[in-house]
Amino acid sequence: MSSAEEAAGDPAARIELLRREIHSHNHAYFVEDAPAVSDEAYDELLRELRDLEAKHPELITADSPTQRVGGAPQEGFAAARHAQPMLSLDSSPREADLRAFDARLRRAAAAAGVDVEYSLEPKIDGLSVELVYGDGVLERAVTRGDGVTGEIITTGARTIRGVPLRLKDDAPVPVPATLAVRGEIYLPIEAFDDVNADLIKQGKAPFANPRNAAAGTVRQLDARLTASRPLRIFCYDVLDGGDNFTTQHALLDGLAAWGFPVNPLNARATTVDEAHSYFTDIEAGRDELPYEIDGVVIKLQDIASRDAIGTTSHHPRWAYALKFQPRKEISQVLKIVASVGRTGVVTPIALLRPVNIGGVTVSRANLHNVDDIERKDIREGDHVRVERAGDVIPQVVERVVQEGDDGARGEPFRMPRECPSCGTPLDRSGPYTICPNSLECPAQLVGRLTHFGSRGGLDIEGLGERTARQLVETGLVRTVPQLFDLTVGDVRKLEGFAERSAGKLVEAIQAARTSELARVLYGLGIPEVGSAVARTLARNFGTIESVRAASVDDLLSVDGIGQVMAEQINGYFTAPHNVEALDELLAPTRLVPRPEEASAGTTNGRDALSGQTFVFTGALERLSREEAAELVRTLGGKASGSVSAKTSWLVAGEGGGSKLSKAQDLGVRVLDEAGFVALLAGLGVEVAEPQSAA
């Protein structure tokens, strides 16, 4: 008797059989591009499965093929930390830079006793995502975000046909209990054209390029819209659970065996000449591909040797992206206007006669600053060569003389003396022109509010760019301080908000009133102040009042703050417009930053783990692995997702698995959770006891 006949009288068995068969057909169609059955036969299998699940809803599981189509819109996106940082790549379009990378890598490899072989992959122009599996079933999908934390987009990711909901369990390398895979979600070029045509019919702005379209589609709160667009994915890295792979190609083979789509154009090379030849071939066939690529990624083949080569805070030293030269076309400057950005920088923008560059219609281009315009001698009416840098951001490269030009030209462009948005006199700082009215200028306000409420800032859930723009355009918020005066009734006036969602936003804003000082300093968007400098200022000055009162000399006394940074910070807090706006913002009924104990020139333990690398594995009871890693970083240490000879400590919770075995083989020191907590206690950091179940 066949398995189908055996399952006929057992709904659970029949449902399981149908799921396996449909998963297999999905893989054949969307990953291998080799459909095994007709569309009608596939639809019949899916209909039977839907009918059975409708009769037996208790048998529906998250990995069922019927769960790919999204349900009702979500309220918003939660955040999650990645298994390990999703770093960017060092890149350049110049062959000389690739050869310099090759020389650096070979020197480092020789010092570490490592042979150099390269893995080569087309660089997909899409949205980077982490897919997390538990026991082979998709549990979570997270955007790259800032590289450490991203947005959870699981519902939308389930609608992408190439994303396996359940991994194959018959692969040569068993699927680990916990697996985190990195991939690139993209929208095929043909689908991109169809999506834009539909948006134009609806009177909506089209997407600028396929990458933006993929990002905008997968981040839809209504996953039904995500499901309506044929997104695809290629996977190329393992962030957690890849300890059994020794080379990049073994890793790619393993991903394919588990059911992930892997780019068939991947290759390998032993010399930089071979790598560049591959790049040349890929570039020549670029326009024949059904998806956008913007270069080639070159990686050290040997995975175990990568730790010896190391990484910077931004990119790995063992990988490089050789980018394609930007696409260029000629257009005409119809008008030059001044545009004010979030940071107050006023940028000249060329309004162009629309021109198609690499499949994208360009009608605006960046002129950077007044010095750039004068150097290139760009005027209204001129013909210019326009390129999309990185195939995304349009910019004017140079003026060109076209046949038939009569030599008559417009007047040279002059930057306005006053901000075109708020009328404040503009400042000239080096090559840049700046509006100093940073907290009240309407043109800056949308970006300011978005940055103010970002995760690194006050972390106000629901205050994204769309909401910030509505608040400004409706006049509900004319200055940053007015954000804290919003009521539920105010927010309900905005498109897309009902009583519940309006209440949640107002509640989130009010909860942010007592945010940490470092978050407030970052959220203000002070020139030169990123999250690290914000923490430094908070630790050294303790209160917002002390930071505002700090002189340039006071700031220079802080380790890591130089002359330019000190002058920018002091200038921000002493500018008359900002003084008045900050006084309003810091009223007791609005924002009251939580003070931080000043460091008084000591480290207060924040560098106690400097130079030490921790890896966490298994389940911890008193804190999550993400929380434990954050504590290590706070104390100056590094948290990694993989064990190597450079690992200082492995902290093993329940079910440590392969990382524990590897640590023991390498002689890495191992702590259980109690030992880690004791280590922290010795550094003055207490970890709360877990709450007992009621």
- Which residues does the annotation mark as catalytic? 123
- Rounded CA gap, 25 and 8, in Å? 20
SS3 51: helix
Helix (H, G, I), strand (E, B) or coil at 669: strand
Radius of gyration of the chain (CA): 28
Cα 554 vs. chain centroid, distance in angstroms? Answer: 36
* Tokens found for residue 126: 């899409």
Closest among 184, 136, 139 to 23, alpha carbons compared: 136
- Tokens 């100056």 sit on residue: 636
d(CA 174, CA 497): 47
DSSP one-letter code for 17:
H
φ/ψ of 562, rounded to 5, equals -100, -175
- The closest of 596, 425, 7 to 21, measured between CA atoms, is 7
Collapse the DSSP code of 171 into the 3-class scheme (helix H, G, I; strand E, B; otherwise coil) and give the result: coil
C-alpha 64: how far from chain center = 28
Q: Which two tokens stand for residue 96?
A: 């000389």
**By CB neighbour count within 10 A (0-12 exposed, 13-18 middle, 19+ buried), where does 384 fall?**
buried
Residues 6+ apart with CB under 8 A from 106: 116
Contacts of 540 (CB under 8 A, 6+ apart): 558, 598, 599
Give the closest residue to 658 by CA, choosing from 337, 177, 46.
Answer: 177
Neighbour-count burial of 662, counting CB atoms closer than 10 A to its CB (0-12 exposed, 13-18 middle, 19+ buried): buried
Query: Which secondary structure element, helix H or strand E, spans residue 361, and what is its range?
Result: strand 360-366
Closest-CA residue to 109 (of 273, 277, 253, 299): 299
Q: Pairing relation of β-strands 638-640 and 613-617? A: parallel
User: Sign of torsion, CA 273 279 280 282?
Assistant: positive
User: Containing H/E element for 648?
Assistant: none
Here the tokens at position 598 are 């000043």
- Two structure tokens written together for 458: 């006050």
Give the separation between CA 421 and CA 445, rounded to whole angstroms: 10
Ordered DSSP codes for 75-141: S---EEE-SS------EES-HHHHHHHHHHHHHHHHHHT----EEEEEEE-SEEEEEEEETTEEEEE
Strand order in the sheet with 613-617: 638-640, 613-617, 649-652, 669-672
CA distances from 301 to 60, 118, 235, 275, 305 (A): 42, 5, 16, 12, 9
> What ranges make up the beta strands (E) of 531-659?
613-617, 638-640, 649-652
